Amino acid sequence: MKDPNNTRNTMPRRGSPLWIFFVVVISLGVGAFVATLTRLTATELDALVHMPVILILGAFIVFGELRPIITPGSTENNGATTSTTFSFAALLYAGLPIAAVLQAVAVITCGVFRGRTPHRIAFNVAQYTLSLAAAQLALLACGIHGVPSDPWVPEGRDLPAIALAGAVYFICNDALVGAAVALHERVSLIKALRWDLGYQVLVHLALLGLAPLMVVAMDRSAWFLQLIVLPFIAVYLNASVSVRREHQALHDGLTGLPNRKMLIVRTEEALAEVRGATARRLGGMVGAGRRQQADPVGGRAGLFLLDLDRFKEVNDTLGHPTGDRLLQLVAHRLTHSVRPGDLVARLGGDEFAVLLPTVRDAAAAREVAARLRAALSEPVRLDGLSFDLEASVGIALFPDHAPDFELLLQRADVAMYNAKENRTGVEVYSPDKDRNSPARLGMLGDLRGAIDRGELELYYQPKISLHDGQLVGMEALIRWRHPEQGLLEPDDFLPIAEQTYLMRAITHYVVNAALAQAASWWKEDLAVQVSVNASGRDLLDTGLAEAIEDGLLEHGLPAAALQLEITERILMNETAYASETVGSLAELGIPLSLDDFGTGYSSLVRLKRLPVEELKIDSSFVQRLTATAEDAVIVRSIVDLVRTLGLRSVAEGVEDAQTARLLREMGCDAAQGWHFGRPMDAATATDWLRSVNGFHGLGPSPGGSEPNRESGERDIASRSSL
């Protein structure tokens, strides 16, 4: 499977260590290859064309290069090329010139077929030529030399010599490739060789060990080669199936990028490497008698979270196929803008992650992020249209900001949200901008699992008309049935979720569950509008409107069946107010309710321009309505203002009949609170709706009761509900 993060086709910078290494190896390889060609006799040239054994060997070498056996856990870069068996057999049987020419033809053919760059093809030809030449010298030292006119066939006593030549071939080949990888990935040679040394030793032991058997078979008849190839084909097919399954499990199907699962594995490896490097550095400092703490240069790892801005415009305007092509283009640009060794992953939608296994400091991380944004900002032309892309990037560093992957991702998400909200483009995580406490961070891990385990539930609280007692709607309120702490209110867990990527998952869950429940009620002729709360982060989620539209179509509901409640403070946030999500919701016809009205400073112009159908008066004013004249004046003024705007006024926190009566006298349209009904689970709410289908009174409804003022218990239905 092709690795999108593979940047080995990129030409190294002129004068860099990798460029110098390539020049030296290619020069030596060209010299060795030219010297080998000059030794080709007329007999050997004739053998290349007319000897069936040589032609069959050449075909197998080409096939082995084109179809490496990639086992689970390996990649195209370290997969076993079965050409090793055939080229080593050609070396034993007919000598270096034949083996080198056949291998060079195979490498060039494979390079052209796979689109490899000339410098990489040249290096591979040189690498194989030098390795075969080194093995030839080992054979000559043991008195072994085969030529086409007098092929050499091994006997039992020749096994030590063959083992020596095979070991020399492996050491030379692995050292050349390992050095190139080390320079490309910017790691030490020892580390590069240790990455898959055991795998390479085992594979080459098997491949090189088959070469003498192939030579013996060739000496009998060229047709026996086909029998030896059959096991290779069987292994290749089985390995291909296993690798395809592994690839699908660890990669995104659309872009081919690693997914979250692979990102976790690679991040854990990077963090372990940083921990080890830090421990070795500190051990060296102690051994040298140094007590001061040095700055951990190279002792950090970085995790970026990147979210595209205005991506939904592409999907809405040009369609999902074009949006998919755009995501593939973004993946290509990102993978070609990071450093060798960095990893780009797609987490879903238009959200990507970038892992920097090593980074000097926050300033260096910002430079990489700026380079990524610059690459994405280049104009894109799709379907005849040209448009610009922008992205918001959040950065979190290990060990500065978090000790493990989950917390690192969460804090990168907090930084990304700050970058999007403040329109700065790039933000490094700052504790000052993170309102999460250590105790709540511990709850974050539980909440992540709660979504998957189905521990989140929706409760429903009625909104009642103060004029005729008819039901106006039901507000969906989220609860978490924690396995240890019992039923948790929104204030116990939503504040931390609102700053993380979990908020998107929670919101989509609530919307889907609310729409499913609304559809169930509508099928029973209980046509009630269900409202759900939306956070400021939700209004920056370009996928929210699309999810709502899909849900309405799936359940066959009109847009009026769902209402979104947003707080007044969100309305004052220019980013959220002007977000494309709000515009998309307006186009769908989804009505908005402005929650907690009176606690902020709303612009009346904005109110008129948004699809707001009702304003909810904050409970802090309503609950003091009968106690202070000032609050009564405020509530009356809000009711009059709302009526002037042609909207519906809803009072929150109504807990007694006297408050309900005063609100009705003021002209308030509807009310919500314990006086009319407590939040109920879906089953209880369904029974309640059936029982009050013709309910007209303003007294406490079934399920309603006076509040427990001794415990101060309240339902949280505004700022922290959803």
pLDDT in tens, 295-351: 444 478 999 999 887 676 666 566 677 778 888 888 888 988 888 788 999 988 788
Per-residue pLDDT at 552 exceeds 90: yes
Query: Which of 3-17, 141-155, 373-387, 523-537 has the highest average model confidence (pLDDT)?
Result: 523-537
Question: What is the structure's pLDDT at 313?
Answer: 62
Label residue 630 by pLDDT band (50, 70, 90): confident
Phi then psi for residue 32, to 5 deg, are -65, -40
* CB environment 301-330: b (16+ within 10 A), e (fewer): bbbbbbbbbebbebbbebeeeebebbbeeb
Question: What is the structure's pLDDT at 129?
Answer: 93
Per-residue pLDDT at 709 exceeds 50: no
Closest CA to 411 of 421, 401, 423: 401
Query: Which of 176-185, 274-283, 497-506, 681-690 has the highest average model confidence (pLDDT)?
Result: 681-690
Label residue 164 by pLDDT band (50, 70, 90): very high
At 564-582, the pLDDT tens digits run 888 755 655 544 444 577 7
Bridge partners (DSSP) listed for residue 461: 475
Mean pLDDT of 145-149: 77
Task: Determine how many CB atoms are found less than 10 A away from the CB of residue 113.
Answer: 11
Cα separations (Å) of 496 from 158, 410, 503, 602? 71, 10, 9, 26
Contacts of 257 (CB under 8 A, 6+ apart): 4, 5, 251, 331, 335, 344, 345, 346, 352
Per-residue pLDDT at 397 exceeds 60: yes
Label residue 696 by pLDDT band (50, 70, 90): very low
Q: Which amino acid would we find at residue 677?
A: G
Mean pLDDT of 659-682: 92
Rounded-to-integer distance, Cα 445 and Cα 451, Å: 11
Q: Are strands 385-387 and 380-382 parallel, antiparallel or unpaired?
A: antiparallel
Residue of 638 and 315 predicted with greater confidence: 638
Q: Per DSSP, which regions of 360-504 are E strands?
A: 380-382, 385-387, 390-398, 426-428, 456-465, 471-482, 486-488
Written as one string, the DSSP assignment of 571-603 is HH-HHHHT-HHHHHHHHHT--EEEEEETSS---
At 39-83, the pLDDT tens digits run 777 776 776 666 777 788 888 888 878 776 654 445 555 556 778
At 488-540, the pLDDT tens digits run 888 888 877 876 778 888 988 999 999 999 999 999 989 899 999 887 777 77
Domain ranges of the chain: 18-249, 260-434, 457-691
Label residue 586 by pLDDT band (50, 70, 90): confident
Helix H segments across 600-681? Answer: 604-609, 619-622, 629-644, 657-666
Mean pLDDT of 92-106: 89
Mean pLDDT of 212-216: 84
- Which helix (H) or strand (E) segment holds residue 551: the answer is helix 543-555
Question: What is the structure's pLDDT at 317?
Answer: 60
Question: What is the structure's pLDDT at 600?
Answer: 45
Rounded-to-integer distance, Cα 181 and Cα 123, Å: 12
The burial class, CB within 10 Å (0-12 / 13-18 / 19+), for 713 is exposed
Per-residue pLDDT at 273 exceeds 70: yes
Query: Which of 374-378, 611-615, 679-683 has the highest average model confidence (pLDDT)?
Result: 679-683
- 260-434 CATH fold: Alpha-Beta Plaits (3.30.70)
For the chain, the distance separating the N- and C-terminal CA atoms, rounded to the nearest angstrom, is 43
Rounded-to-integer distance, Cα 83 and Cα 65, Å: 6
Mean pLDDT lowest among 236-245, 445-454, 470-479: 236-245
Rounded-to-integer distance, Cα 610 and Cα 233, Å: 65
DSSP 150: B
Mean pLDDT lowest among 513-527, 613-627, 688-702: 688-702
Task: Determine how many CB atoms are found less than 10 A away from the CB of residue 712.
Answer: 7
Residue of 499 and 243 predicted with greater confidence: 499
Question: What is the structure's pLDDT at 234?
Answer: 64
Mean pLDDT of the chain: 79
Mean pLDDT of 595-608: 58
Rounded-to-integer distance, Cα 677 and Cα 658, Å: 16
Question: What is the structure's pLDDT at 14?
Answer: 84
Task: Determine how many CB atoms are found less than 10 A away from the CB of residue 168.
Answer: 20
SS3 (DSSP) at 381? strand
Written as one string, the DSSP assignment of 75-107 is -TTTSB-THHHHHHHHHHHH-HHHHHHHHHHHH
Contacts of 598 (CB under 8 A, 6+ apart): 568, 617, 618, 620, 621, 634, 638
Q: Which two tokens stand for residue 696?
A: 């007209």
Written as one string, the DSSP assignment of 188-255 is -HHHHHHSSHHHHHHHHHHHHHHHHHHHHHHHH-TTHHHHHHHHHHHHHHHHHHHHHHHHHHHB-TTT
Equal CATH topology for 260-434 and 457-691 = no
Q: Are strands 592-597 and 380-382 parallel, antiparallel or unpaired?
A: unpaired
Question: What is the structure's pLDDT at 209?
Answer: 84
What percentage of residues in the chain have a pLDDT greater than 70? 78
Mean pLDDT of 346-360: 88
Question: What is the structure's pLDDT at 440?
Answer: 60
Angle, nearest 10°, between helix axes 197-220 and 159-185?
Answer: 140
Question: What is the structure's pLDDT at 711?
Answer: 30
Mean pLDDT of 405-428: 86
Query: Which CATH code is given to the segment(s) 457-691?
Result: 3.20.20.450
